[in-house]
Structure 1
Amino acid sequence: MDLAALQQQLRDFVQARDWSRYHTPKNLVMAMSVEMAELVEHFQWLTPEESQALASDDARRDLVEQEMADVMLYMLQLADVMQVDIEAAIQRKLVLNAQKHPPLP
């Protein structure tokens, strides 16, 4: 996935609708939180087994995929607005996680 190209596509989408003034870091985080809550709704009250079975239910999986995409799109927009190199940030975080949580012996 070319994140830079995707961020440019998002930038163009926002600019074409004159939404830039609304896409502040605060608003993007709040919107992402709402989308995450919508994602959580699909799993609320399911047993662990039911939540795993959701992956084989095409209709329900499609709805989950849409919410996942919404969360990710807002994260990419937030990174863009905050001028964060999200790929580099992820790589740094993976290194920190590996140090914090070493493999089992």
Structure 2
Amino acid sequence: MSDPFKSLHDAMNQFAAERDWDQFHSPKNLAMALTVEAAELQECFQWLTEAQAKDLDEQQLAAVRDEIADVQLYLIRLAGKLEVDIEAACWAKMKKNADKYPADLVKGSAKKYTHYQD
């Protein structure tokens, strides 16, 4: 695992071990928990207008920070279980996205890449 996440990965492993939670942290369960946390992040923005979502008060922003952290921590734990280097995977995906969405073809458009294929 790359340096940006190694210390968090180690801390997550210790946290789970101290609580005997490793037995529950299968890749399937972690992926499911991740979706729950992502939904909780969405809930922070539910019913807000676009303008309100960009101008959160401190209490709202604190809730968003907590949910972002929960999502990231579950991703780190899942990646550790599957021996996925998050940083390397992200760089590889950025390359794939650049190939799928050439800037000269997609600039200013929200269309899916399949609409740009020959």
1:37 & 1:81 partners in 2: Cα distance?
22
1:49 & 1:2 partners in 2: Cα distance?
32
1:50 matched residue in structure 2: 52
1:14 matched residue in structure 2: 16
Correspondence 1:1-80 to 2 at 5 A: 2-54=4-56, 57-80=57-80
2:66 & 2:18 partners in 1: Cα distance?
22
C-alpha RMSD over aligned residues: 1.3
**Greater radius of gyration (CA):** 2
Counting matched residue pairs gives 103
2:108 matched residue in structure 1: none
The amino acid of 2:41's aligned partner reads L
2:101 matched residue in structure 1: 101
User: TM (normalized to structure 1)?
Assistant: 0.92
The amino acid of 2:5's aligned partner reads L
Unaligned runs of 5+ in 2: 106-118
1:12 & 1:75 partners in 2: Cα distance?
16
The amino acid of 1:70's aligned partner reads D
1:86 matched residue in structure 2: 86
2:47 & 2:8 partners in 1: Cα distance?
34
* 3-state DSSP of counterpart to 2:103: coil
User: TM (normalized to structure 2)?
Assistant: 0.83
Q: For residue 63 of structure 1, report the CA deviation from its aligned partner.
A: 0.7
Give the fraction of aligned pairs with identical amino acids, expressed as a percent.
Answer: 44
